[in-house]
Structure 1
């Protein structure tokens, strides 16, 4: 008997429940009121329960109607999602957008661009991961991602097309309580090497047996910028952080710039950020939409001390 249920009946049931009356539902559905009333009556007969109490001026959901409304709403949401996915498939839209982001890149920019993509392509699932150093390039080479945001010039591959987005200022910082914060006069690389350095590592094969930006023989190797920031704030050692991540701690005096010119003027160095994809893998509509949105956001005016500045 339940096989006689139709999506049209369920949609009418939901509309009546949300609109509060058969008349209002009929107007919303562009149907005559009698057709809506008849469809609800047939649905009640099929289910074997009363969905509405019609004794008053306006129909009220019965206890059974309230319970079943949850399931009806879920069914209709799933059907609408399936229809959206089917439309996407028929137009060549990706099932999923897989993106790997360098941990040095501001996640807010990524999220803002993805929000635009999600609004334009609601059927596309998003898979987002954050990796360091050679991780984003490796994700492309291994076909785990369609797009990757890569920071720096250490990792290049002829199979990967790269388009510059913006630059990230890497600032050498230390906790205000650390001895380096109280050192008098400019520090050279030898002075920095006397103190433990907090450095980023990754597990990609591209960084095997390579130390990138490591000065001190004493290191603490961490797997993410958040824990790197925490270790520096704790006074364990010094290290370089992206400006967007260090800005608030610098402003509030929890971190200070390391007093050295050995790591760039004002202890900072710009690193270019790129959006990369495989040359042999054409980008779908959602991926192209993300690339366009991210490029536009990166070209916007920089925030003071944000560590992200647009290309000239």
Structure 2
């Protein structure tokens, strides 16, 4: 199927509009004026519309011409980006990169790193997706992501390059107006059992799922992210352990109260990982930068 609108015709149309005349466009494009005229006449004939009003000294676009220019410019830009990506890919830079981020990972540090990558001026499309618990491993396993950060749990062997990101410290915290906020002494399981527990559910699609913060409680309320868990506990809906690095401000402002608890909740090691078979320059750059970042302070 032959299309009336070609990239060459769009380039000619854009230049005529910029320069104001066919002659000036021909000079800018290093073409003879007759070639410019032929290209526009053929475009008009193929489309069955008038592109330029030639009654005035300056070439003026008709409404149909404006539409072709507006939509055509977008096609031209997309074509230029595609060419850049192809050349970039040949040089070892990927066209796109997907980062799976667990919801315990702070946004600010990640976007600082992405900002520094943008300064490299590489046309790599970056996508950030949020996962929970085993969801990051699942995203790597199913190839939904190129890099996963904030990984916890048992580490798979052989398939991935794994780097430590630090440890996450958890504290048992309740809202300032929760009945347990004024409790004196160590909080025991029998005290917690009287209230709903807020649990973050796993986002894994194919690997076995798990949940964070499960303990014997009056009722389990499952949420999809650590941010939602924090909000639920801020509103006094339930209780549970929260990552210290994510609630420091809430603790300092008195919105949440940290309570000593007899239920053990050790620090959790956190990792980033990428598949060993992928060796793109963007992936390598991000792995190096992500591994050097202090995440949970």
Please indicate the TM-score interval, normalised by the length of the shorter structure.
Answer: 0.7 to 0.9
Q: How far does the alpha carbon of each residue in 1:131-180 deviate from its partner, in whole angstroms, 9 at most, with x for none?
A: 2222212332344332211344x321223331123444434322222111
Q: List per-residue Cα deviations over 1:22-61 (Å, max 9, x = no partner).
A: 599769x9556xx485554333211225544466565443
> 1:1-312 residue pairs with structure 2 within 5 A?
7-17=7-17, 19=18, 21-22=20-21, 31=29, 35=31, 38-48=34-44, 49-53=49-53, 58-117=58-117, 120-122=121-123, 124-152=124-152, 154-159=153-158, 160-202=160-202, 204=204, 212-218=212-218, 219-243=220-244, 245-253=246-254, 255-260=255-260, 262=262, 270-279=267-276, 281-296=277-292, 298-299=293-294, 308-309=296-297
- Using a 3 Å threshold, how does the CA distance of structure 1 residues 42 and 241 change in structure 2: closer, same or farther? farther
CA contact (8 A) 2:137 2:151 kept: no
Distance of aligned partners of 1:3 and 1:100 in 2 relative to their CA distance in 1, 3 Å threshold = closer
Q: What do the CA deviations read for 1:189-228 (whole angstroms, capped 9, x no partner)?
A: 55334432211121547655x6654333433232322332
Give how far 1:249 is off. Answer: 3.9
Contact 2:188/2:263 (8 A) holds in 1:
no
Secondary structure of 1:187's aligned partner: coil
Q: How many Å apart are 1:263 and its aligned residue? A: 6.9
> 2:7 & 2:96 partners in 1: Cα distance?
27
Distance 1:50 1:165, change over 3 A: same
Per-residue CA distance 1:98-138 (angstroms, 9 max, x = gap): 3322121123333443455566442x444543222222123
TM-score for the superposition, normalised by structure 1:
0.73
Cα distance in 1 for residues equivalent to 2:102 and 2:112:
16
Alpha-carbon separation, structure 1, partners of 2:199 and 2:185? 25
Taking a change above 3 Å as real, the CA distance of residues 245 and 9 of structure 1, as seen in their structure-2 partners, is same
Measured in 2, the distance between the counterparts of 1:24 and 1:178 equals 78
Q: Rate the CA distance shift 1:270–1:16 in 2: closer, same or farther, 3 A.
A: farther
5+ long unaligned stretches in structure 1: 300-306
- Please give the root-mean-square deviation of Cα atoms over the aligned residues, in Å: 3.7
Aligned residues: 288
Comparing 235-244 and 72-81, the one that deviates more: 235-244
| Aligned mates of 1:71, 1:243 — CA distance in 2 | 50
Unaligned regions of 5+ residues in structure 2, if any?
none
* Aligned equivalents of 1:64, 1:144: Cα separation in 2: 42
**1:25–1:139 distance in 2 versus 1, CA, 3 Å:** farther
What is the distance in 2 between the residues matched to 1:142 and 1:7? Answer: 38
